[in-house]
Structure 1
């Protein structure tokens, strides 16, 4: 089966199930150098507040944030497109994908990843495994994830309060599956309820948490460190907010997408909440 992934979570899950896509989005990890079938319409390297402004303006005008390279996609003759219906900011939507392929001689099927909570991850894995005819691999992957989560240490006698920022300027508190990850790790989350979207807040209204985690959507850890340094150089709110709190900047990979990597993310949070060290590739204290 020839599969094109339009979203990083789809690419990661496909590979975990043993299939390499023949095409990927511009934001997907692409070590094989397969054709790239999308492009972002917001330039890279902009400050976070400028990215946020452009995203909101595009939504207000009803404009997409991404473009599908129709000719590249058509040449791949895909049987299946993997998209997502969770966040319009994160990747091409299923509606865009269906519209872009409607006039292909043989339009591919569009499979939509829909998980917004941990249990939705297992539904997404099963949907992919069935579409690829690799049900046994799907069951094995789901079992591995559940076993990894089952080995977590018991919660501490008193759960520390936690804030989790997935964007800095302006601040957004992580939603969807993030509250569950924090709870599994042993924290008491001061943010949106499980399954609900991330929440934009005024810096003055950030929660009075004992521990602050930050993992910026779409940023590597090094890019996030640069964004924090720039924010501090401009006299932003962060240093005032973090005063007297434990704070960690995280690799966003295990948190920004609902994939098998969430188990790694929970273990990272669990270690940090218990005062244990983790690899500097996963987290840096602030």
Structure 2
């Protein structure tokens, strides 16, 4: 099994399933676990993240320009059996549409699996979905992760709960939704600005000046 991961979270899942030796391609942002840096990089970004502001990056994306490039020649040479990607966020990682268009033009025939979780349960469901596609049993891994969540939630259940605003983008201010409100709750906080599973939008008001599918889950 030859796997290309176009999403850092998918690389984490591959590692969690004990299949890192089958990973033949990764994104330029995949930096965990140790040893993954030897895997060929198939993506790039055309924006200088050291100098571009949050506002400039946001404007670029919403004017139709992609943040990420895909090395189609290298992807073809790697001959993957499975490509793991996403269709949840054009800013977070390379888009499913770009991946599927590239694969169709190259006619290399791998399975393209798009991961699109919105809640913690769906994140764990992605572990099962990827495991099923890759032929790995994820049952024990999922049970262990659920146990960790339960332990943390029980430890914080009776503590004073601080109000927490999680922000994933600075300019415009963009609250963190999807599974983040649940994580805050498990950790003992009260989430603000977004509901569990919510796909958020930029908050109105004064901008911050700080710089900064073939199958789905």
Deviations 1:196-236 (A, max 9, x none): 12442356699xxxxxxxxxxxxxxxxxxxx97x78xxxxx
Contact 1:115–1:124 (Cα < 8 Å) also in 2: yes
Alignment of 1:156-175 (within 5 A): 156=158, 158-175=160-177
- The structural deviation recorded for 1:189 is 1.3
CA distance in 2, matches of 1:160, 1:40: 37
CA distance in 2, matches of 1:184, 1:191: 17
Q: What TM-score, normalized by structure 2, do the two folds share? A: 0.85
Alignment of 1:105-254 (within 5 A): 105-135=107-137, 138-152=138-152, 153-156=155-158, 158-202=160-204
Partner of 2:58: 55
Partner of 1:41: 46
Q: 1:29 aligns with which of 26, 31, 38?
A: 31
Unpaired segments ≥5 residues, structure 2: 213-217
CA distance in 2, matches of 1:27, 1:52: 21
Partner of 1:6: 6
How many residue pairs end up in the alignment? 205
Contact 2:172–2:207 (Cα < 8 Å) also in 1: no
Higher relative contact order (Cα pairs below 8 Å, separated by 6+ residues): 2
- The structural deviation recorded for 1:130 is 0.4
- The structural deviation recorded for 1:143 is 0.8
Deviations 1:235-261 (A, max 9, x none): xxxxxxxxxxxxxxxxxxxxxxxxxxx
Contact 1:174–1:199 (Cα < 8 Å) also in 2: no
- The structural deviation recorded for 1:9 is 0.4
- The structural deviation recorded for 1:25 is 0.9
Which of the pair has more CA radius of gyration? Answer: 1
Partner of 2:19: 19
Q: What TM-score, normalized by structure 1, do the two folds share? A: 0.66
Unpaired segments ≥5 residues, structure 1: 207-226, 232-286
Aligned Cα root-mean-square deviation (Å): 2.4
Contact 2:85–2:114 (Cα < 8 Å) also in 1: yes
SS at match of 1:102: helix
Partner of 1:98: 100
CA distance in 1, matches of 2:141, 2:59: 37
Between 1:69-78 and 1:169-178, the stretch displaced more is 169-178
CA distance in 2, matches of 1:205, 1:147: 40
CA distance in 1, matches of 2:112, 2:42: 15
Q: Sort the Cα spacing of 1:55 and 1:169 in 2 relative to 1 into closer, same or farther, 3 A.
A: closer
- The structural deviation recorded for 1:112 is 0.8
Contact 2:178–2:198 (Cα < 8 Å) also in 1: yes
CA distance in 1, matches of 2:84, 2:109: 13
Q: Sort the Cα spacing of 1:101 and 1:205 in 2 relative to 1 into closer, same or farther, 3 A.
A: closer
Partner of 1:223: none
Contact 1:55–1:65 (Cα < 8 Å) also in 2: no
